[in-house]
Amino acid sequence: MDDDLALAATARVARLATLDADGRPHLVPIVFAIEGGTLYSAVDDKPKRRGRELRRLRNARERPAATVLVDHYAEDWQELWWVRIDGRARVLDEGEEAGTAIALLAAKYEQYARRPPRPPVLAVDVDRTSAWRASP
């Protein structure tokens, strides 16, 4: 799992799936950082139709199962890979862990370094990973 998470951490974008009240998947692209066995993603200040309490956060509060798919595509198919992360989502509305997550995101993304997000932060505690690579 550590090798899978290390590979996933190199990517710039991923897709987060949470479950809505009807059990349907809600899939969105995210930026993220990984520390230890937890993946973090923040709600940035870009305009949102429904404010800062996004559906992904509501879903995580009500149904914490989450899956994140991180992948790499290249025209040379020998470079293809993906990592799926399954875990339990938590919403960090404040506190030290939220601050640590924001610092990790700011270290990875220049946009967040210039304008750090504020809570809430979504944390996904990794239960398991699955991965595939075109070449070893």
Tokens read off for 71 = 């992948």
- Give pTM, 2 decimals: 0.92
Range of the domain at 40: 2-133
Q: In this structure, what CATH number is given to the domain that contains residue 73?
A: 2.30.110.10
For 22-45, the pLDDT digits (tens) are 999 999 999 999 999 999 999 876
Whole-angstrom distance, CA of residue 5 vs CA of residue 3 = 5
Tell me how many domains the chain contains: 1
| pLDDT greater than 50 at residue 48 | no
For 96-120, the pLDDT digits (tens) are 999 999 999 999 999 999 999 999 9
Q: How open is the CA angle 112-117-122, to the nearest 5 degrees?
A: 110
